[in-house]
Amino acid sequence: MSLLDTPGATPIEMAPSAQPAAYDPVWAAADPNQPATVLPSRPAAARTPAQPRPIGGLSRADLLMMVGAAVSSLCITMLLFGRLTPLKGKFGFVLVAFVLYLVVYAVLSSLTERNTAVVDKVMSIAFTAAALVAFFALASVILYVFIKGWQAFTNWNFFTEDMSSTGPLDPLSQGGVAHAIVGTLIMMTISLIITVPLGIACAVYLNETRGKFANLVRTIVTAMTALPSILAGLFIFITWILILGFRPSGFAASLAISIMMLPIIIRASDVVLRLVPGNLREASAALGAPQWRTVWHVVLPTARSGLTTAVILGVARGVGETAPVLLTAGAANAMNVNPTADPMISLPLAAYNFVKAPGEILHARGFAAAAVLMLLVLVLFTVARILGGRPAGRLSKRQTRKAAAQSLDDLARIEALSTGSK
């Protein structure tokens, strides 16, 4: 229906391109091949003002639509799987139900919404679903390991005994992974003693000095983050054990883990140190502090929380590494607290070995060892979240109180000095 049909319009000869810009969008609908001139007229009814489009948030109608779509897709899927087609399988059921849900939801919302809004809604659902899949997978990993390991976990001896006098068929009330826990702790301690000073010093070097050599070091460190962990193990295996002739030991494993952790810690600390505001450094220099004092008293304390996080995340990576330990530690069944002499074992390696061997009981032990490892990682991770996560220079409440008390003391000291000198 166009204005051309109305009797009041007088057609005259006019090129379509020369038509005046219309006030009224009705022009868009007019046939351009029929030249005509029209008195522009506003429509009689005042237009309703445009409503802002709601971004995010759920309205009641949305919620009802979701529930409706869910119910109907579930019903259709059940019909498909039970009656109409020979489809079967849990995974297929979920997949078909989800696709149907999207379709039904799209159709439902297209009743009230325009196409762009329908696409938007469907995409939001798709993102949510993908995130749910990811977090469901994480939850299933953690829960599964804990459930399968629970039986061994509840026997107290699991944490206090080793496997030296326990055979593969012995029940879970005998033997445990104390040796692996101790081994893991010893290996991580040695690795930390090596990597933390070296890593942080190197990160300070990268940040506090400029030059070609620093850039070279940074490039090489970046390259080494790509080193597959098994190659770190193979390197130590060939140099330390085969060429230098040492026996497989906890120390060798620590060396391999250190090689793997070092680039991770350097890179993470480098990023954190780069975030320390330059004006703090300049203020310190302006007060006459030499560079080492600036680094020691300003840069490192400012970045403390970030550095802690960097180290802890490095440890979380290192503690779970199996491949380098497999090649270098030898596998011990007995408690060994001497890292330099005899074979040692770590928790991930113990879990791996238990599971590789046949037998339900050993598998349960393997899962329990993995669960202990998981707990260790969880604890480390929580500590890292509590300590870290604050940007450089932002203080916690306790630190703020401490700093305030310090400056009150300073004030008292200065006042005492100034009154004393008068």
- Which 298-337 residues touch other proteins, going by CB under 8 A? 313, 316-317, 319-323, 326-327
Which CB, 92 or 171, lies closer to other proteins? 92
Sole window of 2-10, 15-23, 37-45, 346-354 interacting with other proteins (rule: CB under 8 A): 346-354
> Could you tell me the two tokens for 203?
């990160």
SS3 of residue 214 by DSSP = helix
Question: What is the sign of the dihedral through the CA atoms of 331, 337, 340 and 341?
Answer: negative
Sole window of 24-32, 63-71, 98-106, 344-352 interacting with other proteins (rule: CB under 8 A): 344-352
Sole window of 70-78, 97-105, 153-161, 347-355 interacting with other proteins (rule: CB under 8 A): 347-355
Selected binder of other proteins within 55, 84, 111, 417 (CB under 8 A): 55
Residue 237: CB minimum distance to other proteins, A: 6
Which CB, 142 or 411, lies closer to other proteins? 142
Residue 179: CB minimum distance to other proteins, A: 17
Residue 253: CB minimum distance to other proteins, A: 14
**Packing angle, helices 360-387 and 304-319, rounded to 10:** 170
Rounded Cα–Cα distance for residues 325 and 252 (Å):
8
401-420 residues near other proteins, rule: CB under 8 A: none
Selected binder of other proteins within 56, 245, 278, 358 (CB under 8 A): 56
Sole window of 26-34, 52-60, 70-78, 397-405 interacting with other proteins (rule: CB under 8 A): 52-60
Question: What is the sign of the dihedral through the CA atoms of 159, 316, 328 and 250?
Answer: negative
90-129 residues near other proteins, rule: CB under 8 A: 90-92, 116-117, 119-120, 123-124, 126-129
Instruction: Give whole-number Cα distances, 321 to 10, 228, 329, in Å.
Output: 85, 11, 12
Closest of 121, 70, 136 to residue 99, by C-alpha: 70
Sole window of 40-48, 166-174, 238-246, 276-284 interacting with other proteins (rule: CB under 8 A): 238-246
Placement of tokens 């919404």 in the chain: 113
∠ Cα 337 338 344 (to 5°): 75
Question: What is the sign of the dihedral through the CA atoms of 3, 5, 11 and 14?
Answer: positive
| Residue 374 binding other proteins, by CB under 8 A | yes
> Could you tell me the two tokens for 321?
């590494």
Closest of 273, 272, 296 to residue 284, by C-alpha: 296
Closest of 368, 343, 318 to residue 183, by C-alpha: 343
Rounded Cα–Cα distance for residues 295 and 107 (Å):
63
| Residue 421 binding other proteins, by CB under 8 A | no
Question: Mask: binding to other proteins, 267-296, rule CB under 8 A, as x and -?
Answer: xx--x------------------xxx--x-
What secondary structure does DSSP assign to 119-142, as a single string? HHHHHHHHHHHHHHHHHHHHHHHH
375-404 residues near other proteins, rule: CB under 8 A: 377-378, 380-381, 385
Residue 336: CB minimum distance to other proteins, A: 21
Selected binder of other proteins within 24, 208, 342, 383 (CB under 8 A): 208
Rounded Cα–Cα distance for residues 51 and 230 (Å):
60
Which CB, 159 or 292, lies closer to other proteins? 292
Residue 366: CB minimum distance to other proteins, A: 7
146-175 residues near other proteins, rule: CB under 8 A: 148
Both ends of the chain: CA-CA distance in Å? 98
